[in-house]
Amino acid sequence: MKSETAAATGNEESLKRSVEHVKEAAETLLRTTVDETGEEWSKARHALGGKARALRSSLSEHAHDFAKDAREMGGEGQRLVRQHPWTSIGIGAALGLVAGLLVRRR
């Protein structure tokens, strides 16, 4: 479980860095458009496009990793329910009771 949390934290940090790179490229593009046009504009625009494509690819990869992890966790949950059916029924009933009490209070 700790390794899953560590992996998720690593993915989150990677995603934050990617977004920060795109932000920096966008700021550079903005500064360039204010200061100059022409060749500098083209370079900055190209750099921003490359960073945006890299970010899109990274997000897609993270989404696939997340979906894979969710499927694995779902499979693990199914395995546990099959191994301990009465415990699962008891937990479900307790959660239903608590949810009903909370809804009734409002």
Q: Is the pLDDT confidence value at 80 over 70?
A: yes
Q: Domains of the chain by range and CATH?
A: 2-105 (1.10.287)
- Check residue 6 and give its pLDDT: 54
Put simply, whether the predicted model's pTM sits higher than 0.75 gets the answer no
Predicted confidence (pLDDT) per residue in 88-98, tens digit: 999 999 999 99
pLDDT tier for residue 99 given thresholds of 50, 70 and 90: very high
In 3-state terms, what secondary structure has residue 21?
Answer: helix
The torsion angle over the Cα atoms of residues 60, 65, 66 and 69, rounded to 10 degrees, is: 160
Q: Of 7-11, 33-37, 75-79, where does the model show the most confidence?
A: 75-79
| Whether the Cβ atoms of residue 44 and residue 51 lie closer than 8 Å to each other | no
Listed in sequence order, the residues at least 6 apart from 28 whose beta carbon sits closer than 8 Å to its beta carbon are 44, 47, 48
Predicted confidence (pLDDT) per residue in 1-28, tens digit: 455 555 556 677 777 777 777 777 777 7
